[in-house]
Amino acid sequence: IKGIARGSFTGPKWELMNYFKDFCEDFNTATMPHEKYYNFPEWEMKEYEKKKAAAAAKGKGGSNLFSDEARHHEQMKSQAEQKRRDEMNVVLGGMNQAKREEMKRQKMMLAEMAMAFKTGDVDKQKRLQKRLEPEEKIAGGTAHPWAK
């Protein structure tokens, strides 16, 4: 109020208390230099609304930096989402229904094997592990890296 920015006072405590006493006196006698000091949050909200309206009016007439950035951000976001969908379609397009069903079955068997391990059913775990191991060898005569 006294030419000091809000929250920037770094002087001694007694000086701060004097400023506060002056503020209380001005507030109680309704002699503040501006209406904002009576209800600061309300005044801040009014100022914000004014700035927002001015930016909207300016945005209608021409483009401003914030609207350009927001538009660019939305554009990049939609392009990334479209790219993700296209990649998923390519992956799913390369699979037929039988392959998808086989992948689901393998996932269920893995969950069943994990449950058998947790419960201590070693026979069931080994049987499921053997069923999940690949049967074919990769070209070149080496076994699949997961196979033991």
Instruction: Render pLDDT for 106-133 as a digit per residue (tens, 0 to 9).
Output: 999 999 999 999 999 899 988 988 888 8
Can you point out the beta strands (E) in 49-140? none
Count the alpha carbons within 13 Å of 31 in the hemisphere toward its beta carbon. 6
Structure-block tokens of residue 112: 């069943």
| pLDDT at residue 62 tops 60 | no
DSSP state, residue 4:
-
Cβ atoms of 123 and 135 closer than 8 Å: no
Structure-block tokens of residue 46: 């009014």
Q: What is the mean pLDDT of residues 131-145?
A: 65
* pLDDT given for residue 1 in this prediction: 55
Q: Residue 116: which H helix or E strand, with range?
A: helix 97-119
Q: What is the mean pLDDT of residues 75-101?
A: 86
